[in-house]
Structure 1
Amino acid sequence: MTALFYLLGVAIFVVAILVSIGLHELGHLIPAKRFGGKVTQYFIGFGPTVWSKQVGETEYGLKAIPLGGYVKIVGMLPPGAEDLVDDVTYDEDGNPVHKVRKSNTGMFTQLITDARAAEWELVKPEDTDRLFYKLPWWKKVVVMGGGPTVNLLIAFFLFLLVFSTYGVKTSEVDAGAPVVDAISECVIPYSESGRACEETDPVSPALGAGLRPGDTITTFNGTAIAGWEQLRDLIRDNKGGTATIGYERDGKPLTGTTSTTVEARPTSDSDETLTEVGFLGVVPTTHTVTEKGGVLFTLDQMGTMTVDTVQALGTLPVKVWDVAQAIVGLEERAADSPMSIVGGGRLAGETVSHDEFPVVDKAVFLVMLIAGFNFFIGMLNFVPLLPLDGGHIASALWEALRRGFARLRRRPDPGYVDAAKLLPIAYVVAMGFVVMGVVLIVGDLVVPLHLEG
């Protein structure tokens, strides 16, 4: 039964991602058709075609590898002045006739020329006024921005569903003098965080002081303790090491002496600089706080997510490199490392098959996982680099800016931006994403992230 629930979780996640991909591509297809563009293909997946159907001028279908999708819009690349003479002409069968230079100098020039030739093989005489590159700049922005915008909208509505019903649950330390909920058994070097205690590890200062779960800490080196934050600051600042701790157990006052000096470690979650600070090894009792909200609350939460995602995108190559090192055993895989759709499917399966999770918590986790993937996909596609949608958006905006400056300065119209000249960069970026994708998929198979709890 557990295996069946695992497969169910994987299936739910995969289907949801495929639906998201399909809606992303519809975000391109619908405005492209509304603006008069010619869309010849709409496919979910890559590789060999599994199924397709021709509807009008567009072929709709599924491909074997469900790692993305695409919409083929005719005329993405303008004819290059160096490759074509005057306007494109057509032979008696309606095929475009190119007057291409007989020789090309350089690999990149040949690459661009070949890409133009392949693009214009699809152009027919009746398509002249329907080519994508001829659309006004703002229509190009709408068409290319439609896909990732759909992903962000999916994420928004899923987040809204969760935030307005289930809410955001956080743990807060109980007020008053801190009550010990758990105690570290030993002191583990920060560089080895996450492993179990070994016989050679020193006993934690809390155990050395005689503390046990349920004890209430009342004083630290003679200072009365009113709350957890005060105690934490006193422990960290106790550079002398020796600490006399007053606590109550079953209403009886007790005292213990220990040393809080341990190996250097970060001073906070946001500052990873290793500093020698005091360490006791206690976890205070907490309670769960639930915060719910509607549209504005969701937008506020997504604003924070946007900042975090932009930072994550900036460090993505480094994070993927760390995953590659984890694959070959050079380091442990970090819990916050990126994952592929394979990793997402594994987490979905583990969630649904987890015996201790309530059904509501399972459903919320799945919805948040799907929303998170959509949010990341949307943000990633707005990065202004070809072949991402953001690269085409940036090209359209540059075209508008360039033409606007030309009008202001009463100069001739500079014409359309030639995105083909950026193809070498696009191929390098695409190859980079392919490599990172492969590394993450292998990582999710060899050193997968697992559900905590």
Structure 2
Amino acid sequence: MLSYLLGVLLFAVGIAITIGVHEAGHFTAARIFGMRVRRFFIGFGPTLVSFRRGHTDYGFKLVPVGGFCDIAGMTNQDEVTEEEKPFAMMNKPWWQRVIVLLGGIIVNLVVAFLIFYFIALSSGLPDPKASTVPTVGEVTCVAPYQVDAQTLADCQGTGPAGEAGVKTGDQIVSVDGQEVLSFTDLRDYVMQHAGQTIALEVVRDGEHLTIDVPVVSAKRLDQDGNEVTVGAIGVSNAPVEIKPVGAGKAFVVAGNYMNAMLDASVKGLASFPAKLPGVVASIFGAQRAEDSPMSVVGVSRVGGELVEHSMWASFFNLLASLNLFLAVFNIIPLPPLDGGHIAVVLYEKIRDFFRRLRGLPAAGPADYQKLMPVTVAVAALLLGVGAAVILADVVNPIRLFG
């Protein structure tokens, strides 16, 4: 229990750091371009502690689930003093404003990559670009029928594949002349050819061999518990070995893995609206889906479970994934998110380009007052959704281990 609570606390600290480095990205970029940063705070609500350095107030607030970097003149609705005008964000070149707005997103991406890199060095990461060609892990007998969802009937011998000459370590590259890209491809093909003989092309010690294997019929249970007849040859796929790699290869593995996780984050964000009804239903007792969205409360609890089971690599992998999700989420082109502010800056640039073509001067900063209804609506939606997910994580949390 103590290790679980420690894990929850550590992950909560990791979330605060994630938010902190995001805001630090905005802060650093703003300072580089000579913009005035008035306040740099982690958290929301009442101030716990603060101090002033130069023109900036730094501090922590009570609720550590967010943060903000208050840059003078971020929009034309922001009143600036005469002294602040030369340092106001809206008076800086458009490209500098975009870089400042991207600063937090870039830092989160860098942090995620560094975490993945050190995981690759210390314990290893699966490489999404590694070959998925099935490698025989074991040749076995084929059970004639399935007792229940977890149990196969007893059988003897080495099975059809073993008797035909297939050996552990063989890479199966094709079946009946069709390329095999994964063990799933092989399994599906074999299941459909009961009572026939198939030709497996295998690579063994660099040599290509063709082995004819008879496919036997076996009774198995489908997802509904109904008995069906399928083909089987008695081979299992060798598990993918995940091990630490050297410093150079770790960059490649971490990069490949990060690209795959970014793609998963984008898809996860796109599927979020469809999963929200399930989250709400789980508050009232419905079963919570394993891939259900989680709040900072939920992921902290999962972090606690990972520490409780000494799964530190998974703990830091989850923290890196959180950084990726924060980066992807903030690029959405809706105010008050970073992507919404970037969209406004790009709108100003495109608008002024066409004005120049018409011989007109630049129109200046966009009127954010017109965006207030959208900003308020998006903020209210985020608050409402966030509250629902937090409530679901409290009353019906996702558990990794029972």
TM-score exceeds 0.5 = yes
Q: Which residue of 2 aligns with 1:155?
A: 112
Kindly tell me: are residues 57 and 229 of structure 1, through their superposed partners in 2, closer, same or farther at Cα, counting changes over 3 Å?
Answer: closer
Would you say the 8 A contact 1:178–1:285 is kept in 2?
no
**Aligned equivalents of 2:319 and 2:325: distance in 1?**
10
Give the one of 33, 37, 49 matched to 1:39.
Answer: 37
Deviation at 1:385, TM superposition (A): 1.2
Give the one of 159, 164, 168 matched to 2:125.
Answer: 168
Kindly tell me: are residues 166 and 215 of structure 1, through their superposed partners in 2, closer, same or farther at Cα, counting changes over 3 Å?
Answer: farther
Kindly tell me: are residues 386 and 304 of structure 1, through their superposed partners in 2, closer, same or farther at Cα, counting changes over 3 Å?
Answer: same
Give the one of 46, 49, 65 matched to 1:48.
Answer: 46
Q: Which residue of 1 aligns with 2:208?
A: none
SS at 2:241's partner residue?
strand
Give the one of 157, 160, 163 matched to 1:218.
Answer: 160
Greater mean deviation of Cα atoms: 229-238 or 37-46: 229-238
Q: Does residue 239 of structure 2 align to residue 287 of structure 1?
A: yes
**Aligned equivalents of 2:400 and 2:83: distance in 1?**
56
Give the one of 280, 293, 310 matched to 1:324.
Answer: 280
For the aligned residue pairs, the C-alpha RMSD in angstroms reads 3.7
Give the one of 373, 393, 417 matched to 2:322.
Answer: 373
TM-score by length of 1: 0.69
Kindly tell me: are residues 181 and 438 of structure 1, through their superposed partners in 2, closer, same or farther at Cα, counting changes over 3 Å?
Answer: farther
**Aligned equivalents of 1:437 and 1:59: distance in 2?**
28
- How many residues in Structure 1 have an aligned counterpart in Structure 2? 360
Kindly tell me: are residues 35 and 230 of structure 1, through their superposed partners in 2, closer, same or farther at Cα, counting changes over 3 Å?
Answer: closer
SS at 1:47's partner residue?
strand
Q: Counterpart of 2:148 in structure 1: which amino acid?
A: C
Q: Which residue of 1 aligns with 2:63?
A: 65
SS at 2:242's partner residue?
strand
Q: Which residue of 2 aligns with 1:337?
A: 292
TM-score by length of 2: 0.77
Give the one of 73, 97, 101 matched to 1:144.
Answer: 101
**Aligned equivalents of 1:61 and 1:335: distance in 2?**
37
Kindly tell me: are residues 124 and 347 of structure 1, through their superposed partners in 2, closer, same or farther at Cα, counting changes over 3 Å?
Answer: same
Would you say the 8 A contact 1:177–1:217 is kept in 2?
no
Deviation at 1:416, TM superposition (A): 2.0
Q: Which residue of 1 aligns with 2:268?
A: 312
Would you say the 8 A contact 2:140–2:159 is kept in 1?
yes
Kindly tell me: are residues 34 and 133 of structure 1, through their superposed partners in 2, closer, same or farther at Cα, counting changes over 3 Å?
Answer: same
Q: Which residue of 2 aligns with 1:450?
A: 399
Q: Residues 95-134 of structure 1 correspond to what in structure 2 (within 5 A)?
A: 116=77, 119-120=78-79, 123-134=80-91
Q: Does residue 181 of structure 2 align to residue 232 of structure 1?
A: no
Q: Which residue of 2 aligns with 1:387?
A: 336
Cα distance per residue 1:133-160 (max 9 Å; x no partner)? 2221111111111011111110011111
Deviation at 1:71, TM superposition (A): 1.1
Deviation at 1:166, TM superposition (A): 2.0
Cα distance per residue 1:210-245 (max 9 Å; x no partner)? 345x864427xxx9989765762256436xxx989x
SS at 1:339's partner residue?
coil
5+ residue gaps, structure 2, are: 173-182, 197-214
Q: Residues 168-187 of structure 1 correspond to what in structure 2 (within 5 A)?
A: 168-169=125-126, 175=136, 178-179=139-140, 185-187=147-149
Kindly tell me: are residues 176 and 303 of structure 1, through their superposed partners in 2, closer, same or farther at Cα, counting changes over 3 Å?
Answer: closer
Deviation at 1:414, TM superposition (A): 2.7
SS at 1:333's partner residue?
coil
Deviation at 1:44, TM superposition (A): 0.5
Would you say the 8 A contact 1:172–1:287 is kept in 2?
no
Deviation at 1:66, TM superposition (A): 0.9
Would you say the 8 A contact 1:237–1:278 is kept in 2?
no
5+ residue gaps, structure 1, are: 79-115, 188-196, 198-203, 245-254, 266-275
Deviation at 1:36, TM superposition (A): 2.9
**Aligned equivalents of 2:366 and 2:141: distance in 1?**
65
User: Which structure has the bigger radius of gyration?
Assistant: 1
Give the one of 348, 351, 356 matched to 2:306.
Answer: 351
Identity score, percent: 35
Deviation at 1:290, TM superposition (A): 2.5
**Aligned equivalents of 2:146 and 2:303: distance in 1?**
31
Would you say the 8 A contact 1:262–1:279 is kept in 2?
no
**Aligned equivalents of 2:121 and 2:296: distance in 1?**
27
Q: Counterpart of 1:50 in structure 2: which amino acid?
A: L
Give the one of 370, 387, 398 matched to 1:438.
Answer: 387
Would you say the 8 A contact 1:225–1:231 is kept in 2?
no
**Aligned equivalents of 1:329 and 1:377: distance in 2?**
29
SS at 1:52's partner residue?
strand
Cα distance per residue 1:340-378 (max 9 Å; x no partner)? 111121112112222xx5xxxx22122111111111111
Q: Counterpart of 1:137 in structure 2: which amino acid?
A: W
**Aligned equivalents of 1:405 and 1:419: distance in 2?**
20
Q: Counterpart of 1:237 in structure 2: which amino acid?
A: Q
